[in-house]
Amino acid sequence: MKMDWKEIMEQMEQLNEGQALKFRIPQTFGGGIAVIELNQNKGKKYLLKLGKDENVSPYSESDKSKDLAKWVADRMGESV
């Protein structure tokens, strides 16, 4: 299900440690999986990981849920 950035942002703000949001990115935008989770290391609060499968690598991090939520929504991420 494709989600609005506001819906993604709401779900991000409810994440607990060990939980993640996963989105399938269409081929138009490179395909693969986008994962948003709480950053367990020092640094920004949220971590965005991208990859072709479940073994995704870090791509970006932000303290603002809106930044990463918009990134996924702009690329038509579909909730997995």
The model's pTM is: 0.89
What pLDDT digit, counting tens, does each position of 30-58 carry?
899 999 999 988 889 999 999 987 778 88
pLDDT at position 79 over 80: yes
Q: Which amino acid is at 77?
A: G
What pLDDT digit, counting tens, does each position of 10-24 carry?
999 999 988 999 999
30 CA to centre of own chain:
15
Banded model confidence at residue 76, pLDDT cuts 50, 70, 90: very high
Domain of residue 58: give its range. 5-79
- How far apart are alpha carbons 73 and 15 in whole angstroms? 18
Q: How many domains does the chain have?
A: 1
